[in-house]
Structure 1
Amino acid sequence: MSNAIDRHFAEKLLLTFDNPDEHGVHFLFNEWWRHAPAAVTQQYLEAFRSVPEAEAFLASGYYADPLDLDTLAGYRHETLGHSYYHFIVDNGLEAKIATNYRMLHEHMESSGALDGMPEEFKYAIIRGFQIHDFMHLLTGYDPDGPGEIALQAFTLAQMHFPYMAMWMSVLTTRMTFLEPDSIPTVMDNIAEGWQFGNRAGNIAFLEYEKMLDRPLLDIRREYGIDPAGGGALAG
């Protein structure tokens, strides 16, 4: 029998397709695994584990303590730490988003709501919330609509991770059935991020919190990213 979308979960999908601000992709990601076909879960695991950097990432299980903004502000100008401080503050971002998500994750796990989610993905998603804004900073993608779309496609190319694939599903469904005027912009940002993610060195598994004193431009160069951000260096 071919795989099919569970009809109970389909109602959750429609909630996100209709209003992703109200019922975000992170809810879909957490809710899906109880309904996911075993073969599909296995395919996602195999794709994720096929990424060369994934093995060491999973073995380390690294999760950093929350970063203090005052401490970040004290790093030398143009270091990763100082640049990250300004990225968070200048854009009015929530500095504790990863901590808040982990609390939600742990609550859902204790209630049994995450049954079926592979352990590898439980770790990867909470770590992913820690490094997401670092990846914005390295790539040069702004934390706005187009930049978020591009970064999700970039990260999907680098991690082969279902959370980002769900993002693509929501984006393409909405542009097809609800917002056809957005098709050129959405597809341009998806294509740009996907291609950039495939050309650049893999930055989706880095332990950024151990690199805060390094110059941002040096890190970009090391991973084949234009020092100005927003593109890969010529190969």
Structure 2
Amino acid sequence: MHFKDVQATLIRSLTTLKGAISLITNPSNTTSVYELEDGLRYDKATQLSIEFITSQPEIKPLLTERYLVDDPDLDTLLNYPQNSLGYRYASYLKASGFDPHFYRDIKVEDDTSYLFLRRRQTHDIWHIVTGLGTDVASEVGLKAFELAQTRSPLSALLIAGALVRTLFESPEELGYLLDRIAVGYRMGFQAKPFLAQKWEEDWEKSIEQWREELNVQVPPAYTP
């Protein structure tokens, strides 16, 4: 192995380690998530995940097209019916004070970088359609959904990190966390591929219609 290869491997490893440590310290730090994902980009587990995603016939057209869109205008989306994806997405971002371009950009140069960017771009849409909230346990539940859909090593690491943190810092919340993980994984396994959807071309479609078409079963409330 050449020096440059060793150097690149070391940098990726340090980036991954930095992201992992930051997440354990502050699980709400999205920058750490991106650092962790970028560090895992060339790992075998990531490549196997990409192979799994690209093997799905429904996703291939978007891969070929490299389907991406500009950030939507939230005020325009608020003119859609209140049960539509567009309205729900815009009202959620407005209420939360989020920017539609919340995600870190990545240069699209292959299937891996495209899928990374598309997943980042549609993260909040996944929240809305699945009905999984944004508290820590529900965020981890969405990662379990994502794991079932993509076999992403990042998702697996985030789930593992959340379990470790909960065991040591708030063990009384373990039942709720485990419930959201189980619910999310089961939903992801049953649902049609979210990465195959051109959400932005059907903002006016109702959440109920999206869920019916994609076979999404909204999770029940947690009962201890």
Instruction: Give the TM-score normalised by structure 1.
Output: 0.75
Question: 2: distance between equivalents of 1:158 and 1:169?
Answer: 17
Aligned partner of 2:146 among 155, 159, 168: 155
Give the unaligned 5+ runs of structure 1: 110-117
Deviation at residue 167 of structure 1 after TM alignment: 1.7
2:4 counterpart residue number: none
Task: Give yes or no for the alignment of 1:58 onto 2:63.
Answer: yes
Deviation at residue 59 of structure 1 after TM alignment: 1.3
Question: 2: distance between equivalents of 1:204 and 1:55?
Answer: 10
Aligned partner of 2:91 among 86, 91, 98: 86
Deviation at residue 8 of structure 1 after TM alignment: 4.4
- Alignment of structure 1 residues 105-124 onto 2, 5 Å: 105-106=106-107, 119-124=110-115
Aligned partner of 1:167 among 131, 150, 158: 158
2:35 counterpart residue number: 27
1:209 counterpart residue number: 200
Question: 2: distance between equivalents of 1:166 and 1:64?
Answer: 29
CA-based RMSD of the aligned residues comes to 2.8
Q: How many residues end up aligned between the 2 structures?
A: 208
1:45 counterpart residue number: 50
1:144-192 C-alpha deviation (Å, 9 max, x unpaired) = 2222111111122112223322322322332345554443222221111
When residues 173 and 74 of structure 1 are mapped into structure 2, their CA distance, relative to the original with a 3 A threshold, is same
Q: Which amino acid aligns with 1:18?
A: T
1:114 counterpart residue number: none
Deviation at residue 41 of structure 1 after TM alignment: 4.5
When residues 90 and 55 of structure 1 are mapped into structure 2, their CA distance, relative to the original with a 3 A threshold, is same
SS in 2 for 1:51: coil
Question: 1: distance between equivalents of 2:76 and 2:146?
Answer: 28
1:42-92 C-alpha deviation (Å, 9 max, x unpaired) = 433333333343322311211111101111111233222122222222343
Question: 2: distance between equivalents of 1:149 and 1:161?
Answer: 13
Give the unaligned 5+ runs of structure 2: 1-8
Whether the aligned pair in 2 keeps the contact of 1:44 and 1:161 (CA below 8 Å) is: yes
Whether the aligned pair in 2 keeps the contact of 1:155 and 1:204 (CA below 8 Å) is: no
Whether the aligned pair in 2 keeps the contact of 1:73 and 1:82 (CA below 8 Å) is: yes
Question: 2: distance between equivalents of 1:69 and 1:174?
Answer: 36
Task: Give yes or no for the alignment of 1:17 onto 2:59.
Answer: no
Question: 2: distance between equivalents of 1:148 and 1:10?
Answer: 20
Deviation at residue 131 of structure 1 after TM alignment: 1.0
Deviation at residue 27 of structure 1 after TM alignment: 0.9
When residues 180 and 46 of structure 1 are mapped into structure 2, their CA distance, relative to the original with a 3 A threshold, is same
Task: Give yes or no for the alignment of 1:194 onto 2:185.
Answer: yes
Q: Which amino acid aligns with 2:25?
A: D
Whether the aligned pair in 2 keeps the contact of 1:79 and 1:212 (CA below 8 Å) is: yes
Report % sequence identity: 26
